[in-house]
Every structure is written in C-alpha cells, then in structure tokens.
Amino acid sequence: MSVPNRSRRPTIKDVAAEAGVSPAAVSKAFNGTGRISEQTRLRIQEAATGLGWSPNAAASALRRSRSHTIALVVRRPSDVLGTDPHFSELINGLESELAPRGYGLLLHLVADGDEEGRLYERLAAEGRVDGAVLTESRIDDPRPVQLRRLGLPFVLLGGPDGVMLSHQETGVTEAVEHLLALGHRRIGYVSGPPELVHSRFRQGVFTDVLDRSGLAPVAVIPTDFGAEAAIAATERLLALSPRPTAIVYANDSMAMCGIGAAQRAGLSVPGELSVIGYDDLPLGRWLHPRLTTVDQRVTVVGAAAARVLLAEVGEERVPAPELAESPRLVVRESTGPASP
C-alpha cells in the first residue's frame, strides 16, 4: 500500500476558463437555455470533457454534501476479508478519523472492474457518498479518470505516485539486508498478484537489493494473496535443492501460513528457515515464533487517507496527513542466522 494521492475536482469555473467563456455560458450550453452558438457549445463541451466536468456531477456533489459517507469498494474475491486482516486494519485506520466526525464507511464488494465502474456511476448519480477510497492501485488503473469525471473526491492507495512509493523501498530493503546480515544467500519471495502496482514494485526492490550483493532470488512465486497459494508456494520453495534458508512473503497472512507449512514439514523456524512477512498485523505479535515483518502502517495510511478525503469534501480543516513515515522492518523471532 502506498499513500494517498490528492484528487482535484473540476468546477464550472475551470470549464469556463478553459473554453474562454463565462460560467453562465457553460450553464447555458449544458441546460439548453439561452442563446449560444453551436461553435461555442462544442468548445465548451470539449473543455468539460477534457477536464472531466459534467453538470450532473456538480449537482450530485451538491446533493452529496450531506451524505457523511465515504465509499470503500473492494475488488478481491469475497473470501479475502476473512483470510487477510489487512482490510480490517485499513478500515480501522479510516474509521479512526471518520467515526469521530460522524462519517460512515460504505463497503461494497465487487467481482470485477466493470462492476466497480458501474457502482461508482450509481453512487455518484444518487449522491450516496462524499468521496471514495481506492485501494489496490493497478497498472493502467481507469478509476482516477472516472472519479474525476464524476466529480467524486478520492484517494488512491498503493498508487503509482513516484515520490510516495520511494518511501516503500525502505521496508523491503531493510528486510533483505537483515537476512543478508544473518548470512542468508538463498532467499525466496512469495509475491502478490502481478497486476497490482505495489506487488511489482516490492518484487523489484527485493530483486534489486539482492542484485547489489551479487545475488539472485532462489525463486519469485506470484500468488492471489490467498492461504492455499501461500502454502503451495512454500512447499515449492522447500522442495528446491538446495533449499532456501529464508522466505520473504508479500503479506503477514501468507507468512503465517508459510510458517505452519514449514513446521508441518518438520522444519524449525527460524532454526532451519527464516520467515519475514509484510503488514505487521496484530496476530503476528502473539504467535510462536513471533513474526518478523515490515510494518507498513496500514492504520496510519488509512487514517491519512481519511483526513485527505475529509479535507476534500469540505469538513473542518484537518491537519495535513503525516505521510512521511515509511514502512520499517520489525525484527522479532521468525528470523535467525542462516542454517548451513
């Protein structure tokens, strides 16, 4: 997950300025009232389309001004919430800022991108939400363009914002350097879905850090973030000869499944296999061995996203979110010196 990306909602004034006319002329062009030349009408329409402005969006923004609701649309399979507490943590972070202001979070699960797109159209048209949190930024993600067109404020998490993503490097970098310092040379990586921006990014960092030490990953195995995939990936890695002495997982849920799979195969963690997760979910602190993981501050990011959105929708002026905190490695008990 990356940090929020501020949206910019176009206004009728922006369209007027772009088309070189008055706001009243824009209004006329769209309402069909008053006299206006066809040429001017076309120029105004082009400007509006270019900026992603529409009179409906403006009207629904007005209606929306009192919904006190933020949308969170989750596109993974519906069983993922139970398996991966990551989303619960994100919701906790969002709610920590929304609840004190009386805002609710409208949760929708959708099967695919088409359904997600239709849902935003409906939510905007019906004025049901003041803004949206977009998670799991994808390669060529169509949502930011759509939400700007709908006039719906949003924050994008796990996004392609270069400045913010550069902070993310620290977590994976620290994880790999921690393993290298413990003498590990054969390290595997269990990744998330390759279509997610953060999956590709972290996998790239993982490979780069090894490369700087003249090493290559034993293997990089993509997954759907699910438990079955994590266990299958672990078993594949443990079947390699020579066996990796450490595995880095793209989230904590998969790392916990991986520890279980290794222990079931008779391996001691960290005696014969070191394991690192990503997220710092609460449960990882209580299991035995306690999980070494990257704290990506999901709740902090969620709270920051909520504050950005609350400022966008005109709630009381809120302090600028602290987005400077970068993910950091938390060393616990699941990592140790490399076995020979």
Of residues 82, 194, 271, 337, which one binds its own copies by CB under 8 A?
A: 82
Element (H, E) at 180: helix 162-181
Three-state secondary-structure class, residue 169: helix
CB of 227 to its own copies, least distance (A): 5
Residue environment code for 49-79, b if the CB has 16+ CB neighbours within 10 A, otherwise e: eebbbbbebbebbeebeebebbbbbbbbeee
Nearer to its own copies, 115 or 195 (CB): 115
Contacts of 195 (CB under 8 A, 6+ apart): 138, 139
Assigned token pair, 149: 């067109």
Judged by beta carbon, residue 12 or residue 287, the one nearer its own copies is 287
Q: Toward its own copies, which CB reaches closer, 286 or 340? A: 286
Tokens read off for 194: 């390759």
State the pairing for strand pair 246-249/187-191: parallel
Does residue 112 touch its own copies according to CB under 8 A?
Answer: no
User: Does position 128 bind its own copies by CB under 8 A?
Assistant: yes
**256 sits near its own copies (criterion: CB under 8 A):** yes
Binding its own copies (rule: CB under 8 A), the pick from 142, 212, 264, 322 is 264
Interaxial angle between packed helices 252-264 and 227-238, expressed in degrees from 0 to 180 and rounded to the nearest 10: 50
| Residue among 17, 109, 311, 331 that touches its own copies (CB under 8 A) | 109
Residue closer to its own copies (CB basis): 227 or 323: 227
Instruction: Build a one-symbol-per-residue string for 211-240: x at contacts with its own copies by CB under 8 A, - elsewhere.
Output: ----------------x--xx---------
* Six token digits for residue 40: 């001017």
Question: Are 323 and 304 within 8 A, CB to CB?
Answer: yes
Q: Could you say whether residue 107 binds its own copies (CB under 8 A)?
A: yes
Q: CB 178 → its own copies: shortest distance, Å? A: 22
Nearest approach in angstroms of CB 89 to its own copies is 5
**CA torsion 326→77→262→276, rounded to 10°?**
0
- 60 counts as binding its own copies under rule CB under 8 A: no
Work out how close the CB of 129 gets to its own copies at its nearest, in angstroms, rounded to a whole number.
9
Interface residue with its own copies, options 45, 170, 207, 299 (CB under 8 A):
299
- What are the Cα distances from residue 252, in Å, to 44, 61, 90, 275, 292? 51, 39, 14, 10, 9
Residues 58, 219, 220, 287: which binds its own copies (CB under 8 A)?
A: 287
- Among 33-41, 85-93, 205-213, 239-247, the segment contacting its own copies (CB under 8 A): 85-93
**Minimum CB distance to its own copies, residue 109 (Å):** 4
> Hey, CA dihedral for 108, 112, 113, 115, is it positive or negative?
negative
Query: Contact between 99 and its own copies (CB under 8 A)?
Result: yes
Residue 147 near residue 7, CB atoms below 8 Å: yes
Beta bridge pairs of residue 187: 246
Per CB under 8 A, residues contacting its own copies are 66-67, 69, 71, 78-79, 81-83, 85, 87-89, 91-92, 95-96, 99, 102, 104-111, 119, 122, 126, 128, 227, 230-231, 253, 256-257, 259-261, 263-264, 281-283, 285-288, 290, 299
